[in-house]
Chain A
Amino acid sequence: MNADAPAISRQPKTPIWLANLVDKYTWLVVILVALFVLTFAYGMITAPNFLTWFNFKTIIRDAALVGIMAIGLTFVTLSGNFFLLSMKETAALAIVAFATAMSAGYGFELSFLFTMGVAVVAGALQGILIGLGGNPIVVTLGAAGLFFGIASWWSDNLVISFRRPHGAEWLGSGSFMGLPNITVAFILIAIVAELVLRYSTFGRQVYLIGSNRAAGKATGHENFSMAIKTCIIASACSAFVAIAFSAQVSSAHVNYFSSSFGSSGDMTILVIATVMVAGNSIMGGFGSSLRSSLGAVFISTVDNMMVLHGFNSGPRVLAVGLMIVFSIIVFALVRRGSRVQE
């Protein structure tokens, strides 16, 4: 109560975050940002072929897979339900489901619907448990094991391939106005997700419940249905990425999204990193899917630059880790200033 008194008169002309940036944390934030910008600029200029249209398309294409999953996960995070640690395993389950259906000759449309159905069930299952009050970490860790186990068993841990030509080629290797279709899908999903979060009642509920779950319940917005919906969205995004990836390589294996397969690290970690690097509040209620989309492009840019400089996977994974730490520090400091009292 008493602490309120000075806050009443506090109405800075400059944006609060800027005022605080200059106010309290000048030295730390400025040094960090400057260091980062310098390194980035240096790498950009010295990297061969970095500033080319072709490389730009490469960056966006690389960002697409992680980005779509990150957009899905952003809904979960914004609604205050933390993270799903099962993103990668959901994708593994989905890719096996898709490839199995494709190789059995069901065609793209049916296989797509079947895979999405599997993803919705997987998401709903986790959402129900989280909505009932289960700890998201524990629930999704358990779900991760469950999904991965089912996927491995189902596929006998073998590569499932389906022969070209097949109905999914347009998604895997087609392009639209010079952009790969997966990139187009990423951009479309990013736009739709942002519109939904910003302007739909569902999006508003995501923010409200994420901001204060108890107040959300008191005003008639239950987290139970919210957890289910957001988990289904995240799961469906995972499955979409799995389908797109499978369409590209015309095959599937449960390990396609593990660190042992890709060189940029574990998919779940990358997706979570993307959401965090973008400065979305881990506790929910603050952030946007646009941030996550840009975060994906950002990580992909850094990764691309390092590839061009000839770094192998160790330093690149390290770089992702550093970026997370960096963004946590900057965003935490900035936000501590902007939230006057809580």
Chain B
Amino acid sequence: MQPLLKLSSIKRSFGAIHALKGVDFEILPGEVMGLVGENGAGKSTLVKIISGFDNGFTGEYQVNGEDVRFPHPGRAEQAGIAIAQQELSLIHTMSVAENVFLAGHNVPTFANKRTLVKMARPFLNEVGLDSIDPAIGVDRLSVGEQHLVEVARLIAHDPKVLILDEPTAALGESDSIRILDMVKRLSKRGKSIIYVSHRMDEIFKITDRITVLRDGESQEARAASTLDVNSLVELMLGRELDNMFPARALPEAGKAVANPVIQVINLWPDGLLEPVNFDIRPGEILGLAGQLGSGSGEILAAIAGARKTRAGTLDFGDESFLPANPKQAIAKGIAYCSEDRKLDGLFLGRPIKENLSSPSLGSVSKLGWMSRSAENTLAYDIAEKFTVDTSRMNDQAGVLSGGNQQKVALGKWLSIGPKVILVNEPTRGVDVGARAEIYQKLRDLAAEGTAIVVASTDIQEISNLPDRVITFYRGMQIGEIGLKDMTAAAILKQITDPFNETNL
């Protein structure tokens, strides 16, 4: 059978970064192809090339045996390739039917709402939204249903290949099942589907074959039936782990565990299914492992007072309370970096120096007036510790690279002399060099007695950086893994399939 899409030796570089170093990929008509790999392995770059968002690649790209290079996504759509991205592109003030025909394909010039409703019906049925009235507003649907509407919109163009980029990442259980059912139904009707996901259970449930990307290179596509979770994880992580991660020491046998800085007691942040309990100990890097939607990031935000919580307290030993806002948490020596530094981690338009001193204006001022020398000393100290170029202290933080921005976002907390540093996704959007520096810095801080808590969806990071890992799955606390048993496979098992739903 001739493959519908065939890409061979695809390479793509961004400056010095080689995102794809030679990828082969193909999909047959009516096939469900799983596309898996770690964060940064090149999945999204590949998906962008296939769907025409990125045409700066080298290598061959054939559709039905003909060479193509789409100048823009519209062309790819005409060639029958449609992509449902993680971020929905629905218009929330419009009805379901109007959203399905957003692009206006095959719609008469003048169409009233009733016509649209009638026309939308078959596409909605196809994605499993039989019971939905196409005339209601799209904002009345659940997030999962909205994803299905998005797919219905794509199907209305009658694509041959449908790319689903982590469609269930932000969905709960029941919505996820609807997506999987839809994939099965569509493939039965002869559509080819490229299914990108981090969730092992889903991959095994619905895909025919699986292509693994690792470090910008593809592994040969294998039939899903010849693989199991362990062999797939091995394929994903196959590379040798270089010395990016600082060394960890097993706790000495018989040595008493340090008293916790904070005991998290029945903390129930919004977005989690049940309360969580764990200890944060000084001198240790604690990892919260979980995929998107697992709630691990929400827990950090809750401890830092940046997120609403239903219940729970933080026990500091001599007192217990729960910060209502970041200001209260900072006063207790709790520092928090969210996963989106541009949103709330940096003042991009202000000088780096001001960013570094921002959490502790009180310590660099007297009677309400800033002390320039104190601020300079503080900022230079931090910058030197975090290897940020000290000659650029007066430049806007916005001109820095992602890695340096992250160093500033993290480093600013040194100014408060934190007892606990909470970091969500410490190296998202950070290049390899800066990554190693950030890991080393976190390790140094832990060695100095600070308690570090890292939440990450990056399996390599979460299995190689922390001394102890607590796992989360869809809003539930699953288990705790000590350094002795800490392997990527063990963590992956707990964060993707703790209840043995894969049936392998």
The answer to whether A binds B is: yes
A residues neighboring B (CB under 8 Å): 1-2, 4-8, 10-11, 199-205, 207-208, 211-212, 214-222, 285-286, 339-342
* Shortest distance from the beta carbon of B346 to any chain A beta carbon, whole Å: 6
Question: B354, A200: Cβ atoms under 8 Å?
Answer: no
> Which residues from chain B contact A215 at a C-beta distance below 8 Å?
343-347, 358
> Which residues from chain B contact A341 at a C-beta distance below 8 Å?
348, 398-399
> Which residues from chain B contact A204 at a C-beta distance below 8 Å?
354, 361, 370
Task: Report whether over half of chain A's contact residues are helix, strand or loop; otherwise say mixed.
Answer: helix
Query: Does B153 have its Cβ within 8 Å of any Cβ on chain A?
Result: no
Best-buried of A201, A222, A340 by chain B (most CB within 10 Å): A201
Q: Give the contacting residue for A7; candidates B331, B347, B401; CB below 8 A.
A: B401
Question: A200, B370: Cβ atoms under 8 Å?
Answer: yes
> Which residues from chain B contact A199 at a C-beta distance below 8 Å?
369-370
Q: Give the contacting residue for B399; candidates A1, A5, A7, A217; CB below 8 A.
A: A7
> Which residues from chain A contact B402 at a C-beta distance below 8 Å?
1, 4
Question: A218, B347: Cβ atoms under 8 Å?
Answer: no
Total count of chain B residues near the partner, CB < 8 A: 44
Question: B401, A201: Cβ atoms under 8 Å?
Answer: no
Question: A220, B330: Cβ atoms under 8 Å?
Answer: yes
Question: B350, A207: Cβ atoms under 8 Å?
Answer: yes
CB interface residues, B 436-486, toward A, < 8 Å:
none
Q: CB-nearest residue of chain B relative to A5?
A: B15
Question: A201, B361: Cβ atoms under 8 Å?
Answer: yes
What are 21 A-B interface contacts by the 8 Å CB criterion? A1-B430, A2-B17, A4-B401, A4-B402, A5-B15, A8-B400, A8-B404, A10-B399, A208-B347, A208-B350, A208-B358, A212-B348, A215-B358, A217-B325, A218-B304, A218-B326, A219-B358, A220-B330, A285-B350, A286-B349, A341-B398
* Shortest distance from the beta carbon of B170 to any chain A beta carbon, whole Å: 21
Question: B361, A205: Cβ atoms under 8 Å?
Answer: yes
CB interface residues, B 330-362, toward A, < 8 Å:
330-331, 336, 338, 342-350, 354, 358-359, 361-362
Best-buried of B342, B349, B365 by chain A (most CB within 10 Å): B349
Q: CB-nearest residue of chain B relative to A3?
A: B14
Question: B370, A1: Cβ atoms under 8 Å?
Answer: no
Q: CB-nearest residue of chain B relative to A281?
A: B349
* Shortest distance from the beta carbon of A286 to any chain B beta carbon, whole Å: 6
> Which residues from chain A contact B342 at a C-beta distance below 8 Å?
342
> Which residues from chain B contact A219 at a C-beta distance below 8 Å?
326, 330, 358-359, 412
Question: A218, B348: Cβ atoms under 8 Å?
Answer: no
Question: B346, A200: Cβ atoms under 8 Å?
Answer: no
> Which residues from chain A contact B398 at a C-beta distance below 8 Å?
339-342
CB interface residues, B 1-46, toward A, < 8 Å:
14-17, 19
> Which residues from chain A contact B343 at a C-beta distance below 8 Å?
214-215
The 4 closest A-B CB pairs, nearest first, are: A5-B15, A2-B14, A214-B344, A220-B327
